[in-house]
């Protein structure tokens, strides 16, 4: 192994310790849950996903 690779591994281990990561690819973004919820339109019965608090799809809102 070369010196550059050893330095990178040492730096990665240091980051893991500070940030509490399990591996270098673990990011908070990956672990977040989707904010979209499944809704059934009360007007037409269409099933759609939204992050808004609505009961009707875009077509029926018009």
Contacts of 43 (CB under 8 A, 6+ apart): 56, 57, 59, 60
Question: Looking at residue 10, what is its pLDDT?
Answer: 77
Q: What is the reported pLDDT for 26?
A: 55
pLDDT in tens, 4-39: 666 677 777 776 666 665 565 655 545 566 789 999
Threshold 0.85, pTM exceeds: no
Domain regions of the chain by residue span: 1-31, 33-62
Residue 62 has what pLDDT? 82
Sorted by sequence, the CB contacts under 8 Å of residue 15 that are 6+ apart come out as: 21, 24
């Amino acid at each position: 192994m070369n010196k550059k690779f050893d330095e990178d591994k040492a730096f990665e281990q240091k980051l893991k310790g500070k940030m509490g990561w399990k591996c270098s690819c673990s990011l908070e973004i990956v672990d977040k849950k989707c904010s979209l919820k499944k809704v059934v339109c009360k007007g037409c019965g269409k099933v759609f996903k939204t992050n808004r608090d609505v009961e009707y799809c875009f077509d029926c809102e018009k």
